[in-house]
Structure formats: structure tokens, C-alpha cells
Amino acid sequence: MKLYFSPGACSLSPHIVAHELGLPLTIDKVSNKRTSDGRDFWQINPKGYVPVLELDGGEVLTEGTAIVQYLADQKPEAGLAPPNGTLARYRLQEMLGYINSELHKSYSPLFTPKTPPETREERLEYLRKRYGFIEQTLAGKDYLFGDQFTVADAYLFTVTNWARLVKLDLADFPNLLAFQARVAARPAVQAAMAAEGLTKRAYRVLRACESF
């Protein structure tokens, strides 16, 4: 399998999941809508953004929430996603949907220089409100669903790493900050970040996924 990624973008989430599962994965860095060997990325994903997972049979899978579940189902015994058809799986999808629509998409305008100041402040305030739910969810837990790390945790960690880049103060969310530190310490997370050229000192994201 091959993962098309942009360093630190939402493609970091499936990259982390692949490392957690020990799945063999080739990575291809996309920059300026070109792959590492100069191909037009629009020809790979007409949507124009990462992540993209190219399967061994040639099929292409897009959208991070779908990709992480596909990866998790390759090794269900690892527990990164509950079995299909269970209520627990739907709870996972519920959380993935919340992170995608309420957090991830709210960051996007904050990476755009043309965003008006009033819109920027409104989005920051909206994120603080939505992180309030996450803060409550994490109370007394290591991860979103308790002691078990899941694909939702990989996604939450990835998007929340963008907070300092857009000057979103998370000091009022101690459970969230403890979660971020806990996930950052996982060997698979460190391996994925190192593979993307990311370190604690030099974490750089120029844009969110849709406009890398």
C-alpha cells in the first residue's frame, strides 16, 4: 500500500495508524499538487487533497476517516476499531464524524491568510467550544474510549497539533493537553512523525489538508 501525504496534515492520522498496526506502507510526499516523482496529484485524487491510500490492487481510497477504518480492519485483533456492526463501531464513527466536521473543518479557514480577522476569531471561539466536549469526554480516561487507543485518537491528536500554529490557546483543557502528550509519546506516533520530518522542536504545517 502507498500513502500520499503532506507533512503534518491530516494524512498524519492514517500514517500513525499504519505504524500502530505494523502494516507495510510506502509513503509519497505531495507538494504543490505534485507527487515525489513529479506526477500530477489531481490525476490520483480528483478532489485534490491528502490523504490518499493506494491499495496493492490499484484501487484508490480517499477521506481520512474511511482510510483509518480500512487500515484498522486489516488487523482487527489490534483493537484500533471495534468490529463492524457493533454499537461500539458506530460510536467510533460518531466520534470520527465529530472530529472531522466540528474540529478539522473549523481549522481550515485559520490557515488561509485572506480570512478576515472577525472570521478568524469566530472560528477560534468555535473550536474552544467544541473542544469543551472533548475535554469532558477525556475526563478520567487515557484515550477517547478509555484505555484502548483507537483510530479516533490518532485523528484527534493530528488535528489538535494544529492549535499552536493558529494561536489557539488550549490552557483551559488539561485533559486534552495530557492526552496530546500521552499520544505523542507512543512509539508509533514518534515513528510516523519522524518519517514525515516532524519533531517536537520543528513541527511545521503550512496549511490544512484541503489546500496543502
pLDDT at position 207 over 60: no
| pLDDT on residue 3 | 98
Is residue 25 a contact partner of residue 12, using CB atoms and an 8 Å limit? no
Could you identify the residue written with the cell 509519546? 185
Q: How many CB atoms lie within 10 A of CB 24?
A: 8
pLDDT confidence of residue 49: 97
Query: What's the pTM value of the predicted model, to 2 decimals?
Result: 0.94
Percent of the chain with pLDDT over 70: 94
> How does pLDDT run across 152-174, given as a tens digit for each residue?
999 999 999 999 999 999 999 99
- Which tens digits make up the pLDDT trace of 95-151? 999 999 999 999 999 999 999 999 999 999 999 999 999 999 999 999 999 999 999
Question: Any residues with CB less than 8 A from the CB of 192 and at least 6 apart, and which?
Answer: 12, 15, 16, 18, 19
Q: What is the mean pLDDT of residues 16-20?
A: 98
Reported as a single tens digit per residue, the pLDDT across 80-89 is 999 999 999 9
Closest among 72, 29, 78 to 52, alpha carbons compared: 29
Q: Per-residue pLDDT for 204 more than 70?
A: no
